[in-house]
Chains A and B, each alone.
Chain A
Amino acid sequence: MNFAKYVKVFDIGLQNTFVYRWNFLLRSVFGIVPLIGAVFFWKAIFQSKGGGINGYDYSSMIFYLMITVFLENLITPTEDEWQIAAEIRDGKISSYLTKPMNYLGYRIVLFLSYRLLYIAVVLVPIIVLAWIFRDHLRMPEHAITWLAFALSTAMAAFLQFFIAYALAMIAFWVLEISTIVFILYSFEFFLSGHVFPLDIMPAWLQGFIHWSPFTYELFFPAQVFMERVQGADLAKGLAIEAGWLLLAWLSARVLWAKGVRKYQAVGG
């Protein structure tokens, strides 16, 4: 296995993305607006309640929101699925098929280089936010939490990426995939814990949440960092996450293999 060529791809990815640094910065600045909105909204809710909600108070809710914002910027693929789908639709993948390189590997390396640059740019506003909300942030008490957090975050990143990749494969069969992508987005938006922590949902939904793949895209790593899930539950959660990761990886591979067989290189 020759890693040098993938290192080159990483480098190209960084250079290409660097052009969009202003794009990233603006995006993250605008991304702060809904966060501030959510903070005020939760403040009003806790004032009206006069107590905690399912183990959350105002402080831990802000902490939760901050972690998910950080995680989202760190691991959520932003344009990968659109780019992959466009390359398939426009017949551009023909040129990759002739290269001595695995397309999935190529895409993973690009994804990593995008994320690295993205988080580097976005770190400035995130640090400012963390300073503003510093009284509400609590570092984990146990050293092992850092390890579990790193592991669950890495798996969440690849889980999100493989789901996006598998989804983009639909472009082999359907010209316009944006509706399908947005349907998935709407599930992810609410079920990954982006809007609110999933454990404030009613008890009868918790079984579903426990097994749903979306839970492990954001909510679970956040819970790990907050030490709201520990011991046997932590191990079990990591196992479920690994299971979904494996499944997403397999579907990405299978869909690619099937798609390429059908591929006709339109306009390529």
Chain B
Amino acid sequence: MSRYLEIYWLMIRNSLIREMNFKANFLLWIIVEFLWFVGQMVFLEVIYAQVNNVAGWSKWECVLLIGTHQITSQIFQAFFYVNLAELPELVRTGRLDLMLLLPVDAQFAVSTRKFGMDNIINVLVGVGVVVFCLAKLHVVPTALQIALYIVAIGFGVAIHYAVLFGLATAAFWIVRAQGLIYGYFNVFNIARIPESVFPYSLFKIIFTYFLPVIVVANVPAITLARSFQQPWTGLAQLAFGAVFIVAITRGFWRFALRRYSSASS
């Protein structure tokens, strides 16, 4: 275990050094994220100029949900996104062979090569947004709520990771899996929608338990800011969903590796 931590620390250090060579790019990525946030805010402003709640959620609760989604997805992107997005290319070119030869777990090797510092800035912006919303809502969360919020975010990051990892692993069968990366962004689009919007349906069951994107930001947001709603069912669903999808994608990856025959070698 400590060996893995040591390797990981070296990877992070390398990434930081590499990224500081492209400072302009670094700033531009922060601007991109900022623009997305502004766009979503404009949308909510337009909606809440018409209504005062959507399926029981007030404006600032919705913003808090978006901020929570921002925190979760940006933590995931900081640590894993680039690595997983590059996995299809590693498979296509056969460079995956090098990773498989390393004396560490293959999934660890392909998941942790690079680290995105700009995403950490965006995480901090997300935290700022959430705190601001709490103030607007006049909610002071208890220590237990904050602790559960952090645990829930951890499960959320695991879900983000597993979904993209599963999609990227499909690259063993589908040449050029770029379309699958769009799949990730498309699917997580609904994570920013209040869960009460979705009626009880097959759609909701699938996206709660098996591809748990509905719960990924909703559960932590409810836990933190909607204390009148009991959080335990949601937290259990989130934990179940996270464990399920991490296990499934890990199995899928091992299955894919077994039939991997490399390219051009």
Contacts and interface: CB of A to CB of B under 8 A. Distances in A.
A17 to B, nearest CB: 11
B251 interface: no
B179 A40 contact: no
B53 interface: yes
A148 to B, nearest CB: 27
A20 B176 contact: yes
A79 B193 contact: no
Interface in A176-191: 176, 179-180, 182-183, 186-187, 189-190
A1 to B, nearest CB: 33
B100 interface: no
A24 B179 contact: yes
A33 B46 contact: no
Nearest to A23: B179
A201 to B, nearest CB: 6
Contacts of B179: 20, 23-24, 26-27
Interface of A: 19-20, 22-24, 26-27, 30-31, 33-34, 36-37, 40-41, 43-45, 47-49, 53, 79, 176, 179-180, 182-183, 186-187, 189-190, 195-196, 200-202
A190 B182 CA distance: 17
A47 B189 CA distance: 22
Given A26-B183, A37-B189, 18 more contacts: A19-B176, A23-B174, A23-B177, A23-B179, A27-B180, A31-B186, A33-B207, A34-B186, A40-B199, A41-B54, A48-B54, A53-B50, A179-B25, A183-B32, A183-B35, A190-B42, A195-B39, A201-B46
A113 to B, nearest CB: 17
A30 B74 CA distance: 21
Nearest to B170: A26
A48 B53 contact: yes
B174 A22 contact: yes
A265 B197 CA distance: 54
Interface string B149-192: 00000000000000000000000001111111011001101100
8 contacts: A20-B179, A23-B176, A26-B180, A37-B189, A179-B28, A180-B28, A186-B32, A195-B39
A179 B32 CA distance: 7
A4 B207 CA distance: 50
Contacts of B193: 37, 40-41
Contacts of B35: 183, 186-187
Given A41-B193, A183-B32, A186-B36, A49 B186 contact: no
Contact of B203 (A31, A36, A49, A183): A36
A44 B197 contact: yes
Interface string B29-48: 10110011001001100110
Chain A residues touching B, majority SS = helix
Interface in B64-115: none
B143 interface: no
A196 B46 CA distance: 10
> Which 6 residue pairs spanning A and B have beta carbons closest together?
A37-B190, A30-B183, A34-B189, A179-B28, A190-B39, A23-B179
Contacts of B210: none
Interface in B1-35: 22, 25, 28-29, 31-32, 35
B144 interface: no
B169 to A, nearest CB: 13
A183 B39 CA distance: 12
B93 to A, nearest CB: 14
B182 A27 contact: yes
A34 B213 CA distance: 11
A33 B43 contact: no
A30 B32 CA distance: 23
A33 B39 contact: no
